[in-house]
A and B are shown apart, each in its own frame.
Chain A
């Protein structure tokens, strides 16, 4: 029987374990107990310890059972993530409207290879609807760029 544990799952487990350790490290520098009462560091310390323990137990279980899931290709999600990150990064310099429009257009045209005219229409329509709902209707202050949108 093939026993293989997905690298991605180990990365996820490592993230949770690191989060737990970070909390333990910070909590032990806080007051833990005073008189009868637990203080600010008490619960975070326990959360950190339990999280590390549970994550280790999951990892041990993964290796014991070899219940690794078949890895799916990650190319497309990574590409989507990269465009999404570029969209977020563009919010302040470009403003909400252009950043979201370009993000959508890039996903439709370059990632999904969809027809360009339909892509422009859907990207523009989506951006306009979001702008109308949040900025015009709900009066939310969205990031504004040189174009004023």
Chain B
């Protein structure tokens, strides 16, 4: 009953006109971002950060959360109508969704995606509400060694999700390294500022995030200048037969998505892949998949939305992001002077519950908006990217200058923008770098505190059960992907031979 009472308090905060407006704005922006090419939810949140700086933290986080799950659905429109997934989590949707569209059932694909997303989002939020508070209570027992290992786990798990673990780790360490610029928080000595007084405050989170996700993405995508021809949307609501085929997929996708979303750094993309594979395996006639099976849309779409809610569990309860976007949101929480982690549920309970409550509201907005307006959103696809990217760069520039109020930070953004472009081009993940910068001070402080407590012995991380367990999981996250890849290659070798 405790959670229910807290949720009601959260609703009381979330239904104030300003917060409702922020929720609506977030969901709407998320939809638009999901549809437009070359800009993802992480970049959009990064661009909005300067606008929200100094404003009400609850409203800002409500908007970011709305943007996050709104973008999941926005990506579906492009997947279904032009076979171009707006988000990586919509890749699986495009397989059967586009086929449905070519058969004149694009509207039904979008309709089942909206309904599935609503059901998944609602159940996912329920799961977040039930799971996060007890998890945070366990985490309240954390001391410096546990926090240190938790940050390590967050970094390694996020690094392990991308294509190359080594590249992910390298960018994560680069972020930690950039986090040391400025004044040493423990002894107050300036370091790594290279004689530039404007660097004494450190590398700003907004500068790095806008550079890597905003400028970097624009430079990597400015080739795509043409608009795609789109197919007709048609009828949106699924009929009885289609609903009969899809409802089990929606429920399975919800469960799969939430569980995968909760795992640090697993995220919506993996969730949608697993949901699609499960649906294909369970289907009586798997040959329908790839030719317009409605379950192939319902499963992954429900899954990626439930994963968005699931990804917020580790973010709120442990301060470890479950995805790239929550990594940026985590930075936003810190920017607002909050400390994500177990204490959030005691020190900032009102904010957390208001965000959770707003997610229920946001899911209703998403459903109401999408069923009648799917065709209208589809028209956004006709805007050429040539018209979109220059204003994005102008927003990046304005955001950074307005935040730091100096042109030097704009040059820093320019430099990191080039790095972000190369990273995007060669698949070096950017999220670990941002997370490294954000969590760097906490990692350094807790590691130094732990070593001071243990008189310089690293044994402290192995002698405390929670810290040791977190360390083991972190090691597993690094070792497992190459190990599994090696096993897969060994298994495949005799077949090829």
Q: Given the complex, which residues of A lie within 8 Å of B169, measured CB to CB? A: 54
A104/B391 in contact, CB under 8 A: yes
* A48 to B456 Cα, complex, angstroms: 21
Residues of chain A having any CB pair with chain B under 8 Å: 6, 8-9, 11-12, 15-16, 19-20, 23, 26, 30, 33, 36-44, 47-48, 50-51, 54-55, 57-58, 61, 69, 72-73, 76-77, 80-81, 84-85, 87-88, 91-92, 96, 100, 103-104, 107-108, 112, 114, 122-123, 126-127, 130, 133-134, 138, 140-143
A36/B452 in contact, CB under 8 A: yes
Q: How long is the Cα–Cα vector from A19 to B391 in the complex, in angstroms?
A: 31
A selection of 30 A-B contacts at a CB cut-off of 8 Å is A8-B422, A8-B426, A12-B423, A15-B419, A19-B174, A20-B177, A26-B192, A38-B447, A43-B176, A44-B192, A47-B180, A51-B174, A57-B166, A72-B425, A77-B219, A84-B417, A107-B389, A107-B393, A108-B387, A108-B390, A112-B390, A114-B387, A122-B387, A123-B390, A127-B394, A130-B395, A133-B51, A140-B402, A140-B405, A142-B402
Q: Nearest chain B CB to A99's CB is how many angstroms away?
A: 9
Cβ of B402 and Cβ of A126 under 8 Å apart? Answer: no
Are A55 and B414 neighbours in the complex by a CB distance under 8 Å? no
Q: Are A69 and B166 in contact, CB atoms less than 8 angstroms apart?
A: no
- CB neighbours (8 Å) of B419 from chain A are 12, 15
- Complex: how many Å from CA A112 to CA B428? 28
Told that A38-B451, A84-B414, A114-B386 touch, could you supply 17 new A-B pairs with CB distance under 8 A?
A9-B426, A12-B422, A38-B447, A39-B187, A40-B184, A43-B448, A47-B180, A69-B427, A77-B219, A77-B421, A80-B218, A87-B397, A96-B398, A123-B390, A140-B405, A142-B402, A143-B407
1/0 per residue B203-231: CB within 8 Å of A? Answer: 00000000000010011101101000000
B451→A37 contact, CB < 8 A: yes
Q: How far is the CB of B435 from chain A (nearest CB, A)?
A: 14
* Cβ B222 vs Cβ A77 within 8 A: yes
Is B401 an interface position by the 8 A CB rule?
A: yes
Contact of B414 (CB < 8 Å), options: A88, A104, A142 = A88
Take A6-B426, A19-B174 as given contacts and tell me if A61 and B166 are in contact as well, using a CB distance cutoff of 8 Å. yes
Q: Which 7 A-B residue pairs are closest in the complex by CB-CB distance?
A: A107-B390, A112-B386, A140-B402, A54-B170, A47-B177, A9-B426, A12-B422
Complex contacts, A112 vs chain B, CB 8 Å: 225, 386-387, 390
Q: Is the CB of A96 within 8 A of B448?
A: no
| CB–CB B455/A104 < 8 A | no
Task: Choose one: A41, A88, A134; the contact of B411 (CB below 8 Å).
Answer: A88
Given A9-B422, A30-B191: A142 and B398 interface contact (C-beta under 8 Å): yes
**Within the complex, what minimum Cβ distance (angstroms) separates B486 from chain A?**
13
Distance in Å: Cβ of B178 to nearest Cβ of chain A: 8
A8-B425, A77-B219 in contact; A26/B191 too (CB < 8 A)?
yes
Interface residue? B328 (CB, 8 A)? no
User: Within 8 Å of chain A (Cβ to Cβ): is B23?
Assistant: no
Of B170, B444, B456, which is within 8 A of A43 by CB? B444
Cβ of A76 and Cβ of B401 under 8 Å apart?
no
In Å, the complex CA distance between A29 and B395 comes to 40
